[in-house]
Amino acid sequence: MQFFVDTADIAEIRDLAATGMVDGVTTNPSLILKSGRDIIEVTREICALVPGPVSAEVAATDAETMIAEGRALAAIAPNIAIKVPLTWDGLRACRTFADEGRMVNVTLCFSAAQALLAAKAGAAFISPFVGRLDDIGLDGMDLIADIRQIYDNYGFPTKILAASIRGVNHVRDAAKIGADVATVPPSVLRSLAHHPLTDKGLAQFVADWAKTGQKIDASKLGGGA
Ligand code: G3P
């Protein structure tokens, strides 16, 4: 499973990219607002930090303007994935971009039927919003499973990018079902490494090591080499 980080915060992206865990980045208008940055400038910086796909979302809701905006965003860097909403205008823009050989991420997906349309429109990524479905009492993971089955039935190459991920269990369940990518907020990506038994075990090792009075020192290796 690939991990994308769902943020436009440059400091967070830089820090997490150093772990080797960041395969791409997703942004959206709300994340650009949160960053307080100009979309072109911040997206250019993100694309320079992360070689994988960087999703940048159009702002318009009509196909013609989406197409103009998407082409402008794609000109920022070769690793841009143009993000469009799952509407008929968005699907039309998706088909235009796909025919031009551009990567498209179709976002705001809440049903398997919508995901089928995105695949037929040539999307490189479909973004089902797991957490927002959970928020209204549905099971977002059921949607991931339905899309996996449909895409596998027909051999669609569109990648399932599990979005609106709220915690470790979402990542685990999406991986078990076979989502290709999870886009996760920085806090969730960091939390994947946490386990209370890891903390407890490490504290014990640190305490016991201190009692040995030893140091791991390369200068004591001797002159064999
Ligand atoms: O990239 C969009 C998606 O991940 C949004 O998540 O938490 O705002 O529902 P959230």
Q: Looking at residue 223, what is its pLDDT?
A: 61
User: How confident is the model at residue 224, as a pLDDT?
Assistant: 55
Do residues 110 and 143 touch, judged by C-beta distance below 8 A? Answer: yes
Q: How far is the CA of 103 from the centre of ligand 1 (A)?
A: 20
Structure confidence at residue 11 (pLDDT): 98
Pinpoint the alpha helices (H) of 83-179. 88-99, 112-120, 130-135, 140-154, 168-177
Which residues are the active-site residues?
83
Residue indicated by tokens 């772990």: 19
Amino acid symbol at 39: I
Q: Domain 2-212: what homologous superfamily?
A: Aldolase class I (3.20.20.70)
Question: Which of 164, 171, 183, 189 has the most ligand 1 atoms within 8 A of CB, as the residue to mutate?
Answer: 164
Each residue's pLDDT tens digit, 26-43? 999 999 999 999 999 999
For residue 18, how far is its CA from the centre of ligand 1 (angstroms)?
23
| Pick from 30, 82, 181: nearest CA to 9 | 30
Which atom of ligand 1 is least distant from the CA of 6? 1
**What residues of the chain score a pLDDT lower than 70?**
223-225
**Phi/psi at 97 (5° precision):** -65, -45
Distance 86 CA to ligand 1 centre (A): 14
> Which residues have C-beta atoms less than 6 Å from ligand 1?
6, 26, 28, 129, 131-132, 163-164, 183
Give residue 220's pLDDT.
Answer: 85
Which residues in 71-96 are b (16+ Cβ under 10 Å) and which e?
bebbebbebbbbbbbbbebbbbbbbb
Q: CB of 130 within 8 A of CB of 144?
A: yes
Spatial contact of 128 and 147, defined as CB atoms under 8 Å apart: yes
Confidence (pLDDT) at 222: 77
Closest Cα to atom 10, ligand 1: which residue? 164
